[in-house]
Structure 1
Amino acid sequence: MKILITGASGLLGRSVFKQLYSNPAFTVAGTAFSRVDENLIHLDLSDSDAVKTCLQEIKPDVVIHCAAERWPDRCAENPDTAWQLNVSSTELLAKQCSEIDAQLVYISTDYVFDGTAAPYSSDDTPNPVNFYGRSKRAGEEVVLKYANHWVLRLPWLFGPVAYLEESGITALLDTLREQKPVTLDHWAVRFPTSVEEVAEVLEQCLLKICCNTKFEGIYQWSGDTACTRYELAHIIAEACELRADHISADSEPNFSVPRPYNCQLDKSRLTDLGIQGKEPLQQQLARNLKTFIGN
């Protein structure tokens, strides 16, 4: 199976590329725009001709669309740029994949929901509360117009990072190490999810597709640990043997851009297929943060 990964230099895309590239069942290529290395193809996803040429040259069976503007604050500050990547470029990619009979896997978010009625199944009606969520829902809609494509919704992501601030989760390590008084959100319930686990989940899905299991519509994956940012800081402190007594909790929503309260995703549509993760959250965090501890 030939696979093309967009956004292969990003937080999620790197792990997906690494996981699939190591599997001899797949021939894998990846694209990037601003962080291109010798293993990746430079591609501007807003350039219709460039996208068409790339797809015609690689002839992928599956395209995993990891490229996105994933920071809610940046989406609100630059809505046109976010819409271009999350919706317009996605629509272009979905159409051109359909024309060459390639299946598109669109990576979406739990933020398509308003957080008032968790847990959410893949069939529940989306109602995003911020521009980021609205843009990703619009991306879902343009993808699902084509019967051969499908969506994978994910929550708050972390994993191997080039720098701690690449994920809001790993960035908490600096918050802990600085030992300065700080207040963290203790209102929104989140589900930290490892990009390495997501990569393994996608690998399991693709292997099932190779064995003629049909994927269509919307699927969801999530870590199992519910926590606020304040609680997560304490989990990281315990995993990394750091103090957390300088951190206080803010139990009221206090965001520059609205966030939903609890968007827990029901992942049973995938677990019913036998797809599963392997590690508990603390083990995932400790492994990904160990290279930064002591720096």
Structure 2
Amino acid sequence: MKILITGASGLLGRSVFKQLSNNPTFSVIGTAFSRAGENLIRLDLSDSSAVKASLNDIRPEVVIHCAAERWPDRCADNPDTAWQLNVSSTELLSKHCSEINAQLVYISTDYVFDGTAPPYAPDDTPNPVNFYGRSKLAGEEAVLKNGNHWVLRLPWLFGPVSYLEESGITALLETLREQKPVTLDHWAIRFPTSVEEVAEVLEQCLLKTQRGIQFEGIYQWSGDTACTRFELAHIIAKVCELSAEHISADSKPDFSVPRPYNCQLDKSRLTNLGIKGTEPLPQQLARNLKSFIQN
């Protein structure tokens, strides 16, 4: 199976590219834009002609669309840029994929929900509370109306990073190491999810596709640990043997851009197919933070 991954230089895309490339069943090609390098093709997803030419040249059977503007604050500050990547480029990509009979897997978010009535099933009615969620929902709608494609919704992501601030989760290690008094959100319930686990989930899905199982519509995946940012900092502190005494809790929502309260995703549509994760959260965190602890 030939697979094309967009955003293969990003937090999620790197792990997906690595996981699938290590499986001899797959032939994997990655694209990137600003961080294209030796192993990745440079591709501007806003350039319809370039996207069409690349797809016609590569002829992938599956395209995993990891490229996105995933920071809610940046989306709010630069809505036109975010809409271009999360919606307009996604719609073009889905249409071009349909033209060559490639199936697009669109990576979406739990932020399509307002967080008032968890857990959310894939067919529950979305109601995003911020621009990021609205842009990703519009991306979902564009994908699903333009061919035999499917959506994978994910929550708060972390994993192997080149610098701690690449994920809001790993960035908490720096907050702990600085030992300066700080207040962290203790209101919004989040579900930290490993990009390495997501890559394994996608691999399992693609292997099932090869065995004739059809994927269509919306699927969801999530880590199993519910925690606030304040609680997660304490989990990381325990894993890394650091003090968290300088951290205090803010139990009221205090965000520059609105966040939903609890967008827990029901992942039973995938688990009922036998799709599963492999590690508990502390083990995932320890593996990804170990090198930063030693430095």
Query: What interval of TM-score do these two structures reach, taking the shorter chain for normalisation?
Result: over 0.9
Q: How does 1:172-211 map to 2 (within 5 A)?
A: 172-211=172-211
| Structure 1 Cα separation of the partners of residues 80 and 61 of structure 2 | 31
Instruction: Look up the SS of the partner of 2:291 in the other structure.
Output: coil
- Give the share of equivalent positions with the same residue, in percent: 84
1:246 aligns with 2:246: yes
Match of 2:133 in 1: 133
Q: Within 5 Å, which residues of 2 pair with 1:74-223?
A: 74-223=74-223
Contact 1:147 1:216 in 2 (8 A): no
How many residue pairs were aligned?
Answer: 295
Deviations 1:186-225 (A, max 9, x none): 0000000000000000000000000010000000000000
What residue number does 1:14 align with? 14
Contact conserved, 1:223 with 1:281, CA < 8 A, in 2? yes
Letter in 1 for 2:12: L
In structure 2, how many angstroms separate the alpha carbons of the residues matched to 1:26 and 1:137? 30
Unaligned runs of 5+ in 1: none
Deviates more, 1:140-149 or 1:265-274: 140-149
Alignment match, 1:53: 53
Q: Please list the CA deviations of residues 139-186 of structure 1 after superposition, one character each: whole Å capped at 9, or x if unmatched.
A: 000000034100000000000000000000000000000000000000
Q: Within 1, Cα distance between the matches of 2:118 and 2:50?
A: 41
Cα distance between partner residues in 1 of 2:260 and 2:289? 27
1:226 aligned partner: 226
Give the corresponding residue for 1:258. 258
In structure 2, how many angstroms separate the alpha carbons of the residues matched to 1:207 and 1:232? Answer: 33
Partner of 1:66: 66
Unaligned runs of 5+ in 2: none
Whether contact under 8 Å (2:94, 2:147) holds in the other structure is no
Matched-pair contact (CA < 8 Å) for 2:185–2:230: yes
The letter for the 2-side match of 1:263 is C
| Alignment match, 2:43 | 43
Runs ≥4 residues deviating over 2 A = none
The within-5 A match list for 1:264-275 is 264-275=264-275
Distance in 1, Cα, partners of 2:243 & 2:107: 36
Amino acid corresponding to residue 68 of structure 2 in structure 1: A
SS at match of 2:292: coil
Distance 1:284 1:36 in 2: 27
RMSD of aligned residue pairs (Cα, Å): 0.4
Q: CA deviation at 1:36?
A: 1.0
Distance 1:37 1:234 in 2: 37
Q: Distance in 2 between matches of 1:146 and 1:57?
A: 21
1:231 deviates by: 0.1
State the partner residue of 1:292.
292
